[in-house]
Structure 1
Amino acid sequence: MVRRTKIVATIGPASGSAEMIARLLDKGVNVFRLNFSHGSADGHREQASIIRAVCADKKINAAILGDLQGPKIRIGDLHKESLTLLDGGDITLTIDDSKAKTDNCVSVGYKALPGSVAAGDTLLLDDGLIQLTVSGVEGDDVHCKIKVGGELKSRKGLNRLGGGLSAPAITEKDVADIELAVELKLDFLAVSFPSCADDLIPVKDKLAALNANINIISKIERAEAVASDDTLNALIAASDGVMVARGDLGVEIGDAQLIGVQKKIIRQARRANKPVITATQMMESMIHSPVPTRAEVFDVANAVLDGTDAVMLSAETATGKHPTKVVAAMADACLGAEQHPETRTSRYRIDKMIETTNESIALSAIYAANHLENVRASICLTESGETALIMSRLSSSLPIYGMSRHQQTCQRMALYRGVVPILVDLNDGEDNVYHNAMMTIADTGALQAGDRVIITCGDIRGSGGMTNTLKILEYPG
């Protein structure tokens, strides 16, 4: 059975070798993530080269996603290795580095902090593991009472419950990393901490200046980004895809609110024909354990039932002890969820008008595939991958084979739910294109005599978004 939900794996010290990349591909990884918050430019160059080489050797179309660090607000360097903060104690956060030389005073690089908080606000350190209540603001200093203590180390993140702390959309490091992403011809670029659609403008302008064609994935992790449907929908519309980045988002809006917001983001992204990745702590225990908890399996399955295109692994594959086991466990969880009837049929847009011919053909193909007997596959002959993406917005139990002569298109389709990218050039005579497409699938053993395939394509070769033809063919055997 073909797994429809895709897996994104973060590359790090535990998974960067050519041997491990090959094993991860064998276990089911579809997209590799380079986390620009860690490592060097030369290190990322080496990793991208290894990934491309192994994929070429195995004839697998996998994508590479570069993840910008973004303007994450952090505390500064402590005067010693760590501080132990005790419940009920006092601590001061200061923007004056010269004061941060005691256990009761910590520097913060976010210069706007004193003017951004007030007495009674809750500040969260280290992804919410440490909680502080602001007791007052005095000049450069924010005085706090420790509500939930713990061990604090240098450079940990700082959030305000409910949001409200924001920095410039991209940093100098991000600009350098965008240039690196263009150099490496990455398929996707994840933008961290956008609060609204306008925060993507500097990234788009930089990519345009470099004449680069990289799809932007907005990481939804600010409370401001989900404060209203208008803001969220505008951010989704301005993106090529989104990521439900549950770490900082959960810290800012509270974990109790997170599950409903996750479902809303996935639903709104799919309605906008945008792919969506669900991320953060999906199988966190497998950083050390060889098996997941039942709760983690349920978490992955729940995201699949929500309709996510992909589920993501972070430290589990970057630094964990069991990279291949965690990918295999996640793949099993996805397959299990995909057996549920509601993942196999769709009423998507059944009561809405269709805007383009391309969309009409794409939706008609999957509707026919779900309701016509003996259909075993949908085949999308595509230049840009757009038709395959729209087809993947409908639930179905059948694979969508996205066939393209463009390597980049195939790599991008690796993220789309239910799409199997195939790099092939079928241009050897118009009359033979449809037959050759069907035979390409038959050669994999996926068809038997009497099986039907649905094929979509466009009359104008070389131009994306021009799909206007749907054919139904029967395989003679």
Structure 2
Amino acid sequence: MVTLDKTMLETPEIFKELLRAGMTIARINLARDYSIWKTLVENIHAAEKEMGIERQNRECKIYIDLPGPKVRVNDFREKQVTIKVKKGDIIRIYKFDNYLGGPKSKKGEPASIGVTLPKALRNVRTKDKVYYDDGKICGVVVEVNDKYLDVKIVLTRHKVEYMKPHKGINFPDSLACFNVPVVTETDIQMLSEVISFVDIVGISFIHSPNDIRIVKGYLEQYTERKIGIIAKIETKHALLSLSNIILEGLNLDLFGVMIARGDLAIETGYKQLVKAQEGILEMCRAAHVPVVWATGILNDMNKKGIPLRTELTDAFMGLRADCIMLNKGPYISKSLEFLQEFYQINKGPLLEFRNST
């Protein structure tokens, strides 16, 4: 599975490169690329046509992620503006709908942001942790009132970080996701528009078996085709409900589970991530449910063309899953080719090292 990206539209040849390299599922994240999803799909179909692949026999499936109740940063008041952040700074998060944030004011007010789902902030309390962009910035809530909450930055990846619009924010201590439905009105609208073009739908931030039933109901309403459903496991509650989610999924013709490690690491805590992903793998294997190994696979190679040693170990562990998901990067085709050869080598028996003498 390869995540498509708007930058690929600048070099359409990349779509044929990905198909030649072995991409069998093209992923489109509607939370990021809703405005261009159709163009991405059309480019895949055009590449298949040029390669002589007939539509009805095509191997590459189209997978879309529904946005779900992901809390993201709203746009800023001024375009092309970023908020500079360092340890010890205060970031003010407003609870108003459609609030547009910006840098620290001349009056001394802290830098501020608005979020896409203010309702998700209802249960936030002081001392709750807050993570921005999959943990690149970590803060702690130091003040809460009816209008806003103040977050003190306690950890950053670099000495100075930059906050940008549309990046995700996690509140793992606050049960933020319980204040909004998993399948949102936006999801339903998007699903009705994309349904005739997709083969698989991913349910983001799934909570319970009922979320599967809701999506299944809309799929049956919109089309007679059999559309696959992927339950994305990325919250604590999804882990606790996993057995019931799997049982509900087994009622479907096409069902799978994604270990969405980006948000899952934040929601469960980094120390618990490995234990969580191993548990998901074991339960799905026992139920004969396909698993997608996602987030962070060969990230350095995707960006720089050379893998880290630790990335090789992670990719090898992914052999136990049924599908590997790669994210964007200028060397994504090279990463895909590398994985194909890597898996051919490592699926065989382990090498036996003998004394050359």
Residue by residue, what CA displacement relative to the aligned partner does 1:327-362 show, whole Å, maximum 9, x if unpaired?
011223322332257xxxxxxxxxxxxxxxxxxxxx
- For structure 1, the residue ranges without an aligned partner over 5 or more in a row are 1-7, 342-477
One of 2, 8, 12 as aligned partner of 1:9: 2
**Residues 15 and 43, structure 2, Cα contact 8 Å, conserved in 1:** no
How far apart in 2 are the matches of 1:40 and 1:140?
Answer: 35
- For structure 2, the residue ranges without an aligned partner over 5 or more in a row are 105-109, 250-254, 351-357
**2:91 match: secondary structure:** strand
Quote how far apart the aligned CAs of 1:108 are: 2.3
How has the CA–CA distance of structure 1 residues 236 and 50 changed in structure 2, closer, same or farther, with 3 Å as cutoff? Answer: farther
- Aligned residue for 2:166? 155
**Residues 83 and 102, structure 2, Cα contact 8 Å, conserved in 1:** no
How far apart in 2 are the matches of 1:282 and 1:9?
Answer: 11
State how 1:254-269 maps to structure 2 within 5 Å.
254-269=269-284
How has the CA–CA distance of structure 1 residues 14 and 76 changed in structure 2, closer, same or farther, with 3 Å as cutoff? Answer: closer
- Aligned residue for 1:177? 190
- Aligned residue for 1:87? 87
How far apart in 2 are the matches of 1:272 and 1:43?
Answer: 37
How far apart in 1 are the matches of 2:130 and 2:72?
Answer: 12
**2:118 match: secondary structure:** coil
How far apart in 2 are the matches of 1:78 and 1:197?
Answer: 37
Quote how far apart the aligned CAs of 1:82 are: 0.8
**Residues 223 and 253, structure 1, Cα contact 8 Å, conserved in 2:** yes
Give the TM-score, by structure 1 length: 0.63
Percent identical across equivalent pairs?
Answer: 26
**Residues 79 and 102, structure 1, Cα contact 8 Å, conserved in 2:** no
- Aligned residue for 1:309? 322
- Aligned residue for 2:131? 124
State how 1:223-302 maps to structure 2 within 5 Å.
223-226=236-239, 228=240, 231-239=241-249, 240-302=255-317
**Paired amino acid for 1:132:** G
For these two proteins, the number of residue pairs brought into alignment is 324
**Residues 55 and 62, structure 1, Cα contact 8 Å, conserved in 2:** no
**Residues 73 and 116, structure 2, Cα contact 8 Å, conserved in 1:** yes
Residue by residue, what CA displacement relative to the aligned partner does 1:65-112 show, whole Å, maximum 9, x if unpaired?
122222211122223411112211222211136684552222223223
Quote how far apart the aligned CAs of 1:51 are: 5.4
**1:57 match: secondary structure:** coil
Give RMSD over aligned pairs. 2.4
**Paired amino acid for 1:21:** F
How has the CA–CA distance of structure 1 residues 98 and 242 changed in structure 2, closer, same or farther, with 3 Å as cutoff? Answer: closer
**Residues 297 and 325, structure 2, Cα contact 8 Å, conserved in 1:** yes
Residue by residue, what CA displacement relative to the aligned partner does 1:165-195 show, whole Å, maximum 9, x if unpaired?
11222233322332234211x2211111112
Flag the structure with larger Rg. Answer: 1
**Residues 132 and 169, structure 2, Cα contact 8 Å, conserved in 1:** yes
1:193 and 2:205 correspond: yes
One of 223, 226, 230 as aligned partner of 1:217: 230
- Aligned residue for 1:33? 27
How far apart in 2 are the matches of 1:322 and 1:297?
Answer: 16
How far apart in 2 are the matches of 1:273 and 1:180?
Answer: 32
- Aligned residue for 1:65? 63
Give the TM-score, by structure 2 length: 0.82
Quote how far apart the aligned CAs of 1:238 are: 2.5
How far apart in 1 are the matches of 2:268 and 2:317?
Answer: 20
Quote how far apart the aligned CAs of 1:15 are: 4.6
- Segments ≥4 residues shifted beyond 6 Å: none
- Aligned residue for 1:165? 176
